[in-house]
Amino acid sequence: MFIAEAPSLRIRSIAGQAVPANPTGNADVSLPASTTDPVDVVFATTNVPVGNTVKLRIAPAYGAVTEALSPAIAGTAAAGTAQVNVALPAGPSTLQATTSYTVVVAGTLDLSRFARNEAVEKVEVTVALSGEPRARVITATGKAYDVPYATLRAAGFRG
């Protein structure tokens, strides 16, 4: 299923090398041995509010996982960018990027049917490098319920 205007996030480049539009997670980018740390990892976002950050998770084949947080996404919500400067461990690694943001919906859209008939105040949207965006509705009393993003879109949510 394709959701028009769904938020998306991708790693655009690593150390100046373009990442394929549809990465497989298996040797998508091979950096030359002469590459020196730190390197820039550049992110591209679509339909994600500017000002949010991107969390990069580096999972090496051997060794400890590390994480880095980008500065604020710049540009526009329709087309944003961010980048982070990181040291990559020797050998193969998997890079994963996520961003989360909250949309205030109190009084603008009745999403109570997704929250056991409680008034929904906010929707938290999480966009990962792969897979569909995830959503969680948060009530005025602080209760949270996971709801498929596509279901919220079908109910009129835009965020």
Q: What is the DSSP string of 105-151?
A: -TTT---GGGTTTPPEEEEEEEEESSS--EEEEEETTS-EEEEEHHH
What is the predicted pLDDT for the residue at 126? 86
CB–CB of 3/150 below 8 Å? yes
Inform me whether the pLDDT recorded for 67 exceeds 90.
Answer: yes
What is the predicted pLDDT for the residue at 129? 65
More confident residue, 18 or 5: 18
Inform me whether the pLDDT recorded for 3 exceeds 80.
Answer: no
Region of residue 28 (left: phi > 0; alpha: psi -120 to 50; beta: else)? alpha
